[in-house]
Amino acid sequence: MEAVCEVRMNVENEVNLLVEEIRRLGAPGVDGKITVKFGVLFADDKCANLFEALVGTLRAAKRKKIIMYEGEMLLQGSHDNVDIVLLQD
């Protein structure tokens, strides 16, 4: 049970770090919400060092309705131009 709580805390911590990185790398879109391209996040050196599994962290944040993007899973190269939108301030 303790391991499950530890994993949940790690996921929440990674999602919080992701929100900070989206704010750092993104810019307000036409709707005023912070938006960043997947390729920008993926190619960023700081993000590469912070996130062991960026795609997994993105999926967790999407499930929690913290971010939004088209599709289920993002892949480097083919999804580099997909917008990731921060839904919360």
Domain CATH number, residue 74:
1.10.10.1540
Is 40 among the domain residues? yes
| pLDDT at residue 4 tops 60 | no
Is 78 among the domain residues? yes
Q: What pLDDT is attached to residue 7?
A: 52
Q: Where does the pLDDT of residue 86 fall: very low under 50, low under 70, confident under 90, or very high at 90 and above?
A: very high
Is 2 among the domain residues? no
Closest-CA residue to 66 (of 29, 19, 25): 19
Is 61 among the domain residues? yes
Is 68 among the domain residues? yes
Is 30 among the domain residues? yes
Domain hosting 41: range is 11-86
| pLDDT at residue 22 tops 80 | yes
pTM of the model: 0.88
**pLDDT, tens digit, 9 for 90 and up, residues 40-84:** 999 999 999 989 899 999 999 999 999 999 998 899 999 999 999
Cα torsion 29, 61, 41, 45: sign: positive
Is 6 among the domain residues? no
Mean pLDDT (whole number) for 25-43 = 96
